[in-house]
Amino acid sequence: MRKDDSDRAGPSTWYTLGEVRDSNFILLDVGEQPDGRYTIRDGYNEAFPDPAYCRKIADSFGEFLAGALRSGERWFWLRDSE
């Protein structure tokens, strides 16, 4: 995400999967594996790499992809109340 292979580039367990329209990124977190699946995080660009601002948005890539496909181009990982 920061094109820097050092600790300044965030946790070594986070991998960039892609960039979204708002210049943030989708991150795969291989440091967490609930139920044998890796979690997906919002790579919030302005506060990266602080984990408090790069919150979990899906429990697995499958959950993330399903949300993205049914989103109608809305922010699919956010609840309607947010």
Q: Tell me the C-alpha distance between 51 and 67, whole Å.
A: 22
Does residue 76 sit within a domain?
A: no
**What's the sign of the alpha-carbon dihedral 54, 75, 27, 35?**
positive
Does residue 18 sit within a domain?
A: yes
Are 40 and 57 a contacting pair, CB within 8 Å? yes
Tell me the chain's radius of gyration from C-alpha atoms: 13
pLDDT tens track for 47-77: 787 878 888 888 999 988 888 888 887 765 5
Full-model pTM: 0.76
- Does 10 have pLDDT greater than 90? no
Does residue 1 sit within a domain?
A: no
Of 12, 14, 76, 79, nearest to 43 (Cα)? 14
How many domains does the chain divide into?
A: 1
Q: Out of 11-15, 27-31, 55-59, give the one with best mean pLDDT.
A: 27-31
